[in-house]
């Protein structure tokens, strides 16, 4: 069933599980009913055997009393021949054990117990009469007296036979009742087994058909998906070729544009240095605007080259100490930091798997951004913190995978959060070029770097309060869920 869970939808799995569960329940119910019917049949069979034992014992009593009657008559007819008393004497001691056994067997039947008490009395009376008849023969009393005893003995014998017949009839009724119950239990067992087997068979057939239909549908869907996948792979390949050509074109075009731009700048500076005195003030102003525009275009081309290199230059992931990256950026921008009077509060950042050069670009752009968009007359305070998190904290990430969350917070001018998607697009600016310098590529580069590392970047901001950029990067590009979290300590660096 584990293999089916991976390929069947949840609703279908529920129906199939219900079908097989019902089949198992029917099998268990059939087993239970069969066991119950068997127990009823066994009990009925035991009662039948019990009635047969009682009937056999009653037959034995009849046989013994008949021996007594036969011996008594033979002795009388032979005028005292002792050979006829052998069966008589053998029968007499057997009555008590036989009657005791019958009493044990009918202990659960008050009617038969009452009949048995009467039978015991009638047997005792019959035996007493038989002994009197034997004694009359032995004493050679007149034949008329012996015949009188014989007639009385016959009457008592008839009464014993009558009671034995009555007791046999009672047992026969019980025998018939128990036989019918046994037959009924056996018949019910067969019906239950047949019905439940049929229901189980139908349930299994339905479940099997459901499973087969779902697997066939699944196979058709997979075949369609494979066809779509092949088509998509062809389109992806064409798109990758197109992207590579576009990126190569952007790289070559940007690189080739640098050469005429450098000539414009070189001749512009030569014109200003050598012939500035010969130009009118208006001419000098125009020349300076040309040089400023050329300088800005040079920066844009350099940023565009950097943006292009992130996709075209495939560098391997290596162990990167983020603390060293940040310190290197602070050293490079030391003059700008001192000029702005900025204060930095920086955590002891973790070590992750990343591309070193791209981490340099990422933090350089974020720190430059924080130093650029400051409020007039207020020194920048910039905080850089990091903490390990699980991918489940963000729906865009992989749950169970370890990530490192970095926040870069400033007390600058901030922005309206409705422009959150706007700021990460290339050449997009929220402020005029005359107010804050820049090309509008820095944050786009940051986003591309983070995407290249399979992370995410976003921001929280409030106009006039400041901005917090949130960057989440995998601690390892190929990582086990059981990696230990990195411990962090906070320290403060003040550069003025």
What pLDDT band is residue 146 in, cutting at 50, 70 and 90? low
Secondary structure class of 465 (helix, strand, coil): coil
Question: Residue 117 corresponds to which tokens in the numbers above?
Answer: 């008490």
Between the alpha carbon of residue 119 and those of residues 88, 98, 177, 195, 411, the distances in Å are 19, 12, 24, 50, 118
Residue 485 has a pLDDT of 39
Q: DSSP class of residue 333?
A: T
| pLDDT tops 70 at residue 491 | no
Least confident range from 334-348, 388-402, 478-492: namely 478-492
pTM more than 0.85: no
Question: Who has greater pLDDT, 17 or 463?
Answer: 463
User: pLDDT of 181-234, one tens digit each?
Assistant: 777 777 777 787 778 778 777 877 877 777 778 778 878 888 888 888 888 888
High-pLDDT (> 70) share of the chain, %: 80
Q: Where are the domains of the chain?
A: 2-214, 317-494
CB 88 within 8 A of CB 134: yes
The per-residue pLDDT for 474 is: 93
- pLDDT band with cut points at 50, 70 and 90 for residue 159: confident
User: How far apart (Å, rounded) are the C-alpha atoms in residues 340 and 321?
Assistant: 27
Q: How far, in Å, CA of 392 to CA of 388, rounded?
A: 12
- What CATH class does 317-494 carry? alpha beta
pLDDT-derived band of residue 439, with 50, 70 and 90 as boundaries? low
Query: Is pLDDT of 279 > 50?
Result: yes
CA distance 34 to 449: 72
The matching CATH number, chosen from 1.10.260.40, 3.30.360.10, 1.20.1440.210, 3.40.50.2300, for 2-214 is: 1.20.1440.210
The residue with greater pLDDT, 1 or 274, is 274
Residue 74 vs residues 66, 83, 122, 246, 429: alpha-carbon distances, Å: 12, 9, 22, 136, 141
CA 308 to chain centroid: 46
**pLDDT tens, 336-354?**
888 888 888 888 888 999 9
Answer whether 51's CB lies under 8 Å from 174's CB: yes
Judged against a pLDDT cut of 70, whether residue 143 lies above it is answered with no
Does residue 496 surpass a pLDDT of 50?
A: no
Quickly state the pLDDT bin for 288 (edges 50, 70, 90): confident
Spatial distance between the Cα atoms of 18 and 2, rounded to a whole number of angstroms: 16
Residue 378 pLDDT exceeds 70: yes
């Amino acid at each position: 069933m584990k293999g089916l869970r991976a390929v069947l939808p949840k609703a279908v799995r529920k129906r199939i599980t219900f079908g097989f569960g019902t089949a198992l329940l029917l099998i268990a119910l059939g087993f239970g009913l069969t066991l119950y019917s068997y127990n009823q049949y066994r009990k009925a069979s035991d009662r039948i055997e019990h009635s047969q034992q009682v009937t056999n014992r009653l037959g034995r009593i009849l046989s013994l009393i008949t021996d007594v009657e036969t011996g008594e008559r033979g002795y009388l007819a032979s005028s005292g021949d002792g050979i006829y008393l052998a069966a008589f004497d053998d029968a007499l001691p057997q009555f008590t054990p036989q009657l005791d056994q019958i009493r044990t067997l009918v202990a659960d039947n008050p009617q038969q117990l009452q009949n048995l008490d009467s039978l015991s009395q009638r047997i005792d009376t019959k035996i007493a009469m038989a002994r009197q008849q034997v004694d009359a023969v032995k004493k050679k009393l007149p034949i008329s007296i012996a015949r009188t005893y014989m007639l009385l003995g016959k009457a008592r014998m008839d009464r014993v036979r009558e009671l034995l017949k009555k007791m046999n009839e009672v047992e026969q009724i019980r025998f018939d009742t128990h036989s019918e119950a046994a037959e009924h239990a056996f018949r019910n067992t067969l019906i239950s087994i047949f019905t439940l087997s049929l229901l189980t068979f139908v349930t299994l057939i339905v479940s099997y058909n459901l499973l087969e239909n779902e697997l066939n549908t699944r196979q058709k869907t997979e075949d369609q998906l494979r066809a779509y996948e092949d088509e998509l792979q062809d389109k992806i390949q064409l798109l990758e070729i197109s992207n590579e050509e576009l990126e190569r074109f952007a790289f070559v075009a940007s690189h080739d544009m640098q050469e005429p731009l450098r000539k414009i700048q070189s001749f512009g500076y030569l014109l200003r240095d050598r012939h500035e005195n010969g130009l009118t003030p208006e001419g000098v102003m125009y020349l300076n605007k040309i040089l400023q525009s050329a300088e800005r275009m040079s920066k844009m081309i350099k940023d565009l080259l950097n943006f292009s290199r992130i996709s075209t230059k495939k560098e391997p992931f290596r162990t990167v100490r983020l603390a060293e990256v940040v310190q290197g950026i602070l050293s490079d921008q030391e003059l700008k930091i001192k000029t702005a009077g900025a204060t930095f509060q920086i955590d002891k950042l973790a070590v992750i798997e990343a591309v070193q050069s791209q981490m340099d670009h990422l933090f350089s752009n974020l720190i430059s951004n924080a130093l650029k968009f400051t409020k007039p007359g207020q020194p920048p305070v910039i905080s850089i913190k990091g903490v390990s998190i699980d991918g489940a904290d963000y729906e865009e990430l992989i749950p169970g995978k370890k990530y490192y969350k970095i926040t870069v917070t400033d007390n600058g001018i901030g922005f309206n959060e409705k422009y959150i998607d706007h700021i990460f697009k290339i050449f997009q600016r929220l402020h005029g070029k005359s107010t804050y310098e820049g090309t509008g590529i820095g944050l786009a580069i940051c986003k591309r770097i983070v995407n290249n590392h399979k992370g995410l970047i976003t921001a929280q901001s409030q106009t006039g309060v400041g901005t917090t950029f949130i960057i989440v990067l995998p601690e390892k590009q190929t990582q086990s869920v059981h990696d230990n979290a990195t411990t962090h300590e906070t320290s403060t660096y003040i550069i003025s």
